[in-house]
Amino acid sequence: MNLNSLNFKLVLASIYLIILFTALFFLFSIIDFKDLTNYDLIRDNRQIILDYKQDYFWFFIFTFFIFCILWTLLLGFAGPLLIFAGFVFGKWLGLVLVLLSTTIGAVFLYQLANLFFKNFIEKKFAERFSKLKILFNKNELMYFMCFRFIGGGGTPYGIQNILPVLFNMSVKNYVIATLIGSAPSMFITASLGSGIEKVIDKNSTLSFTTVIKSPEIYIPLIGFFIILIIAFIIKKIYFKDKNE
């Protein structure tokens, strides 16, 4: 079968879109997002999740790792994965699991987009990111690493993963830039998830004062604002041509 044939590309692209929208449908059908703000429910289920992790540690890690890959492949955000990973596995193991799995998922998504959606992506984003393309042509590794570090300058995570299609970026540079560039902000988010777990463990009730005074929370938040400042400086220095 010819991978470059138009009919084959259309079939696989249609299958991907069907899977994407089906997954989103079931996600919003199963999850009641009001429960995510119910502290009593989160506290009660916390121990169930931690006990399950303790009893089935490697299976739990493997399942979560595969889920992260699929989640990224389906244009999911990295933030919820990092909060959950930090909450359940701790900041260091949580960071490693999410960083590696989302990088793998991002590479699959990048190659899928490059093979089946290249024309659509170019039509949709080429003009908007035309000056960014000039920068990437100078040094794609450094600029994409910086681009990851600054969170894509506000570009959604799923779009960040497919944007290098515009620049014909090599997979090797894509992987290196994603791993290094994403690590600092991901560590901060995983630390926040770990801090939330510790706060819940120590407090039967929760208040804004309790949360903000906890070093497990305010230290990652300080780190987050430091990242924002550094990202702002990097954006001004390395991506200033984008807005000219």
Residue-by-residue DSSP string for 13-72: HHHHHHHHHHHHHHHHHH--GGGGG-HHHHHHHHHHHHHHHHHTHHHHHHHHHHHHHHHH
Question: In the prediction, which pLDDT does 37 show?
Answer: 46
> 12: pLDDT confidence band, cut at 50, 70 and 90?
low
Most confident range (mean pLDDT) of 100-109, 150-159, 167-176, 232-241 is 100-109
Distance between CA atoms of 210 and 175, rounded to whole angstroms?
40
Quote the tokens at residue 134. 């000039």
Work out the average pLDDT over 88-116: 91
pLDDT at 117 over 90: no
Question: In the prediction, which pLDDT does 146 show?
Answer: 85
Name the helix (H) or strand (E) containing 178: helix 171-202
Of 38-52, 108-122, 155-169, 175-189, give the lowest mean pLDDT range.
Answer: 38-52
Question: In the prediction, which pLDDT does 243 show?
Answer: 41
